[in-house]
């Protein structure tokens, strides 16, 4: 197997790696539009939280695409993703603790 080394991490198929990162970013954008549509109709914070999550997730995948080594992610990217997940957790807690 011919390995291509990009930075420190060997990549078996660099073109496939870039293609899949772009595919994930495009699907995240589609999911974000989907959730933004439902947030616009219902004004439910949970839909907005999911839209923000998918925007952040797709944006970090695009940052991975533009970096010289897509498999070596900078630490602050994980913090962004963690904050997006915590936003979803906060939206779920807010929705379940409201009085009926």
What is the chain's alpha carbon radius of gyration, rounded to the nearest angstrom?
17
Tokens 């495009």 correspond to 26
* Contact residues for 62 (Cβ-Cβ < 8 A; gap 6+): 25
* pLDDT tens, residue by residue, 17-49: 889 999 999 999 999 999 999 999 999 999 999
> Which range of residues forms the domain containing residue 39?
4-97
Q: What's the number of domains the chain is made of?
A: 1
CA angle 18, 9, 25 (to 5 degrees): 25
Shortest CA distance to 31 belongs to which of 1, 2, 3, 55? 55
pLDDT digits (tens, 9 = 90+) for 52-89: 999 999 999 998 888 777 666 778 888 999 999 999 99
């Amino acid at each position: 197997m011919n390995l291509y080394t990009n930075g420190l991490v060997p990549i078996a198929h660099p073109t496939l790696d870039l293609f899949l990162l772009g595919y994930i970013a495009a699907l995240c954008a589609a999911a974000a539009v989907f959730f933004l549509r439902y947030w616009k109709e219902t004004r439910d914070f949970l839909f907005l939280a999911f839209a923000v999550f998918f925007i952040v997730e797709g944006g970090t995948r695009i940052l991975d695409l533009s970096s010289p080594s897509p498999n070596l992610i900078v630490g602050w990217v994980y913090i962004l993703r963690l904050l997006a997940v915590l936003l979803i957790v906060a939206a779920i807690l807010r929705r379940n603790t409201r009085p009926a």
